[in-house]
Structure 1
């Protein structure tokens, strides 16, 4: 085991201990007393907080703290971290040997169990895709905080007029330059997805009607019933590439007999939005069903041509 790896493993080994001695490290890591003593000095330099207990069998006493203890990363791991910061949407496909799950586990191992659980919860509700933000968002931290706390927010939604609402969210997600939040409106008990950049006067409430699990269950029911109009779009081979670059949760790509189809469901209120989405495929669309969606698509294209006449 290399020295840097051994020091990291020693940090993990000591994480939940209140005291240790040199013999503990010698036995656990099969090292000499001289090496163990050097390791203790280097662990202190890395940020491990301890003091020497007096007496023949005093050993070392660890000082409990909430700060993250320093960890040595190798070059591949550092490259992977910076690659992730620059290209978050490609985290799962990096050219580096170390996976992000390994790095995440290593960082998590330095945290107390309670903090690990909070971090896991945070990562389960925050999602990031691509494209620079269209507008500045000032309330993301507060929204995320309330999701984790499983509490509601009171805010003014200005996307369609100006409405003061109380909402409990279960997720934040970023798509095409826009931050969205999904959750339940307390006033009408209806599920909705909101654009965060239209929020004003956001206030945290010490109110909880649902757990995060219950909200997720409500979302599953909503998704399965709201998009009740099925559709099927045949696209070219390049069309399937366009789909993979940009699509929504209510649709998927299938292949049958070397042909590509976009299938899924939409709500009648989303007809206009769906037609404009399909226009983005240009000449790569071969057929559209059902007929109302095809006709709306034709109308949108006709309006575009009319403006160019």
Structure 2
């Protein structure tokens, strides 16, 4: 197993277990405890919140905020997530405003340049706020695509 594959697998194991020992992880991944120790230090440097607990019943623990594994999105899914997050700006208040903004920044950072450009056309150009009326999903999709492709849309 390549180191990169091992580190990804280690992130998934750490997220799943929350409490673990070097021996458990070493056995699971088929490497030495020393290798796991080095890998955990590397994960810590990457921002994975792992800390050790000394003494009887000790081992390693994951702090409350876990990192989620990477997820592959299609361009349509990425656009949908961006648009949904942007829509939160039109609510009076949301309990996760800062977290949503942080997630959107991270998400946007890793998009391919051409998709970033298309999505950036949505910012400040299109808002859907209709507190008393529901709107057809097909209509919203047509509007979204029209803005992103810089084409006109007729609404009846």
8 A Cα contact 2:52 2:60, kept in partner: yes
1:8 matched residue in structure 2: 8
Please give the secondary structure, in 1, of the residue aligned with 2:17: coil
1:177 aligns with 2:141: no
Change (3 A) 1:133 1:53: closer
1:137 aligns with 2:125: yes
Please give the secondary structure, in 2, of the residue aligned with 1:177: helix
Q: From the CA coordinates, give the structure whose radius of gyration is larger.
A: 1
8 A Cα contact 1:134 1:177, kept in partner: yes
1:21 aligns with 2:21: yes
Alpha carbon RMSD of aligned pairs, Å?
4.1
Q: Pick the aligned partner of 2:133 from 161, 166, 186.
A: 166
Alignment of 1:96-115 (within 5 A): none
Please give the secondary structure, in 1, of the residue aligned with 2:58: coil
Alignment of 1:259-298 (within 5 A): none
TM-score by structure 2 length? Answer: 0.52
Change (3 A) 1:135 1:64: closer
1:116 matched residue in structure 2: none
Greater RCO (Cα-Cα under 8 Å, separation 6 or more): 2
1:199 matched residue in structure 2: none
Length, aligned pairs only: 109
Greater strand proportion: 1
Please give the secondary structure, in 2, of the residue aligned with 1:60: strand
Q: Is there any run of 5+ residues in structure 2 with no aligned partner, and where?
A: 77-114
Please give the secondary structure, in 2, of the residue aligned with 1:64: coil
8 A Cα contact 2:23 2:33, kept in partner: yes
Q: Is there any run of 5+ residues in structure 1 with no aligned partner, and where?
A: 72-76, 90-127, 144-152, 155-164, 180-192, 196-268, 270-309
TM-score by structure 1 length? Answer: 0.29
Greater helix proportion: 2
